[in-house]
Amino acid sequence: MYRFLVAEDSKVILRDIVHLIKESGYEAEIETAYDGETALDILRYFAPDIIVTDIKMPMVDGLTLIQRAKAVYPGVKCVIVSGYGDFIFTHEALMLQVDDYVMKPIDGEEFREILRKLTKEADCRRVQMEEAALQRMVNGEGAALQKHVNGEEPALQKHVNGENPALRKLTYAERASDGKFWSGSYMLVLIRAGLFYQYAAPLSKEMVNGILERDGSKPEFWTVNTRWSNEKILVFGLEGRRREYVLQQSAVLLSELKKEYRRVNIICSGELKDIGQLHAQYNRLSVSLGRKAMLDESRIYDDERQPDGRQMYIRQKEEIEVFRRKMEKILKSKAVADYRMEIHKNILHWGEMGYSVTVLRKFLLVLLDEMFTVAGIGSGWIEEPGTMADKMLNECGKLEELEECLQGYGEFLAAGKEEKGGISIDVAQKLTEYMQSNLYKNLSLQEIADNFNISSSYICRIFKVYYSDTPISYYNRLKIEEAKKMLDEYRNMRVKDVAELLGFSDQYYFSKVFKQQYGVSPLVYRTQMQEGEG
């Protein structure tokens, strides 16, 4: 439904304009006025999508009407109807951002083309307002309207003519801001790039919309930002559609997004009806996806298929407690062989059980807590266990890689006591400071060891304990963090130049390391950042 306001002092021309609007086949609500003052009165209760107005009219001219209308409805589309003698007003019309003009006598085909263009623009603005409203609802910001008159319409606080407030119909933006534009059932599709938002690249609306509109058709959906840049939530209207259609669209999204992102997961809700509960519905879906996402693959999850969560929780809790007791004894006894065997056995078990990242993180926290307790490191950790666990899971794409990372701690168990004292913390800090000050070089492990006059194997043990990483991998991580800052700040610098400045002789290796850390290539990251700001 489009709302038109037609203001024209010639009854014949006004009748022709109304006829052309109706003839064009738009579902339309049309208000008419033969002078500008009457048109202003109509604006007090009518929120038009498009205004068609003559320039010269009695009492209030068309340009004044447009100026007053845009003060209340900034997004309204305006068309001026002019004669050959009205070009003196052209500059002022441009200043008012008039969208188009049509000459008298009005050519029908020309006017219909203008209508096609402006209704398309009105549709785009409508979607933008709806998505902005949905975003506020997703983020729990609540309704933007004041109390409604008679429980439906608000009092007009803005003035059309600078005088007294009046009652009017809600604008589309106001209806959208309170969810009043919505009717019928819908589904939510939550898309999340990466496992942890702090290590993930942005996900842009343009990419998501481009995938779903690639074949030229546009399914009825709204793309909504959440508070995390690596997430988007899609709202699909289900009127005239089956749920399977949304699942098919989600499969297309996953297939295309996997080409750009190292990890991407999607979860689809069941059929929903109360848009006012969007915040709670999103939170439920977000938590559910967090509990389901796997380490080794990108998937589509169906939130309607819920396993017996209570029994799973009890079993996992018992397993974690058994794991804690075993690791405590093994670490205290410095039984390297037992440690490696227990890690391998658990990795196999976690794979067989299909444990999600959330569950794996619980096991890692137990291991890291026990390891630091036994080592006597206490409050002097370089990074707290949660951060270490997150980084470990983010950088390990498979359980086999996670096992390799955890097996590295066996070297720590085998190290002598003199290499585990408090001095390790000081050395670790000096090592990282040295790396940070040499980001634009290409340090080798031996160069670092020579500079500090300690063995390379000792440096490896320190980094396994304090950073859950190898020295060179950690050094590259610092470089990639610096590369991200450079891509953000220097928009015109080539990716190749960024790689060379940071000591990467191979641009493809640089892109691989960048994607491992942030989920996308540096080129895609820059594109996504620019689209997010546009």
Residue 192: phi and psi, rounded to 5, are -130, 120
Q: Are 44 and 17 in contact (CB under 8 A)?
A: no
Domain boundary among 284, 302, 320: 302
Q: Is residue 487 part of a domain?
A: no
316 in the same domain as 296 = no
Alpha carbon 190 to its chain's center: 10
Tokens of 335: 């039984």
What domain range is 328 assigned to?
Answer: 309-473
CA atoms 407, 412, 416, 419: torsion sign: positive
* Boundary of a domain, candidates 473, 490, 513: 473
Q: Within this chain, do residues 80 and 218 fall inside the same structural domain, yes or no?
A: no
Q: What is the pLDDT of residue 202?
A: 86
Q: Among the three residues 452, 473, 494, which one is the final residue of a domain in this structure? A: 473
**Cα–Cα distance list, 174 to 47, 162, 165 (Å):** 10, 20, 17
Distance CA 310, CA 301 (A): 19
Any domain includes 172: yes
Distance CA 318, CA 332 (A): 22
Q: What is the pLDDT of residue 276?
A: 84
Q: How far apart are CA 179 and CA 435, in angstroms?
A: 52
Q: Are residues 36 and 101 in the same domain?
A: yes
Contacts of 474 (CB under 8 A, 6+ apart): 432, 435, 463, 467
Residue 527 domain-assigned?
no
Alpha carbon 40 to its chain centroid, in Å, reads 41
Does one domain contain both 112 and 152?
no
Same domain flag for 169 and 291 = no
Considering the domain architecture, whether residues 294 and 313 belong to the same structural domain is answered as: no
Q: Is residue 220 part of a domain?
A: yes
How far from 482 is each of 180, 445, 509, 525, 533, CA to CA, in Å? 46, 20, 16, 14, 21
What's CA 97's distance to the chain center, in Å? Answer: 32
Q: Is residue 108 part of a domain?
A: yes
E strands within 238-340? 264-268, 300-302
Same structural domain, 283 and 333:
no
Q: 466 near 425, Cβ under 8 Å?
A: yes
Whether residues 329 and 266 fall in one domain: no
Residues 322 and 226 both lie in one domain: no
Dist CA 257 CA 56 (whole Å): 54
Separation CA 152–CA 168 (nearest Å): 11
d(CA 300, CA 256): 13
Q: Does residue 490 sit within a domain?
A: no
Same domain, 317 and 198: no
* Strand arrangement of the beta sheet that strand 186-193 belongs to: 221-225, 231-237, 186-193, 264-268, 300-302
96 with 163, same domain: the answer is: no
Q: What is the DSSP letter of 107?
A: P
Residue 533 lies in a domain: no
Q: Are residues 59 and 158 in the same domain?
A: no
Query: What is the rounded CA–CA span in Å between residue 46 and residue 170?
Result: 8
Sequential DSSP letters for 492-520: TS-HHHHHHHTT-S-HHHHHHHHHHHHSS
Residue type, 444: S
- Number of structural domains found in the chain: 4
Report the candidate in 182, 173, 222 with the shortest Cα–Cα distance to residue 75. Answer: 173
Separation between Cα atoms, residue 395 and residue 199, nearest integer Å = 9
Question: For 333, how many CA atoms within 13 A lie in the half-sphere containing its CB?
Answer: 11
Sites in the chain below the pLDDT cut of 50: 143-168, 173-174, 177, 378-380, 416-423
Q: What's the first-to-final CA gap in the chain, in angstroms?
A: 29
CA 147 to chain CA centroid, Å, is 32
- CATH number (domain holding residue 291): 3.30.70.2860
| DSSP-based three-state secondary structure for 32 | strand
Q: Which single residue is written with the structure tokens 């390891």? A: 371
Contacts of 446 (CB under 8 A, 6+ apart): 456
Task: For residue 165, tell me if it sits in a domain.
Answer: yes
Report the C-alpha gap between 200 and 263 in whole angstroms: 9
